Structure 1
């Protein structure tokens, strides 16, 4: 949907169609989540795809606008003569702030994903059928901690242009 939205938006200059397709990315996320919940409610045993639907939705909500902006800038530059894409800061405090902002998005994404996983586990109320979802919950704190360590390294050991150039 993202590629279709960008392709419709730039070369043929169909901005409304492109915007509708870009909004459709969220609809596809929601449809995958609804399908996973319906499958579980009908008696299926959770597998990796059920957990992935919750993770994908959480990370799509938190990172989706950033991802669309990133892709849009590159697509506009490459196919529509737009300005060069804006690069994230490379050095110092600006880079540390950027990394902490991404970490905060990861926290939000993990919280949304955890809420969705709990919402899928609770109504089923069968630990055996939802064991995979419970295992997926255990991954979320690790993601947040790892991302935090990355952000912390940019804070504690900030690089400057002189060292890296």
Structure 2
């Protein structure tokens, strides 16, 4: 496994470690401000990741799909980060602290609307991630060294289109209520 893949995996693990530490500090140890500082460190992890990948390319490395996935990861982290932290926060309170309740799963038109909002966040992630990829391509230079980054952009564009179709399908074929 090459170091780029290892860096991506480390960033993902570190993202969740920082979130869990932030929640433990905030709720278990009652260090609310310190916990919030940890929770707000997630963008710093993203910044370090993109700087590492860009420096690698500037030092002559040939771009690979993992280089592109780093930009995808950052786009998703920035667009969905607050929601992921809220999701972890709710479950931490419910399962660990035994307070509160889990959110009721949405069905029908409410689910379709929520999924569409999620798709809009996906568009934001796409704009951030592909913006970073284009920035890196322009910094490194348009050459065969960055072909993998173009492929990541093309694939993500297709995935974004498929996600839109899935989102729209929930307005037509609504998710039924269980039980």
Instruction: Say whether the 8 Å CA contact 1:73–1:82 is kept in structure 2.
Output: no
Deviations 1:109-140, CA, capped at 9 Å, x for gaps: 11111100000011211421101111111111
Query: Which moves more between the two structures, 127-136 or 47-56?
Result: 47-56
Matched with 2:56 is 39
- 1:112 is aligned to 2:112: no
- 1:75 is aligned to 2:104: no
Q: Cα distance, 1:160 vs. partner? A: 4.1
- 1:103 is aligned to 2:119: yes
Runs of 5+ in structure 1 lacking a partner?
A: none
Alpha-carbon RMSD across the aligned residues, in angstroms, is 1.4
Runs of 5+ in structure 2 lacking a partner?
A: 1-17
Instruction: Say whether the 8 Å CA contact 1:88–1:98 is kept in structure 2.
Output: no
Matched with 1:94 is 110
Q: 1:118 to 1:79 in 2, by over 3 A?
A: same
Matched with 1:140 is 156
Aligned residues: 162
User: Helix, strand or coil for the counterpart of 2:144?
Assistant: coil
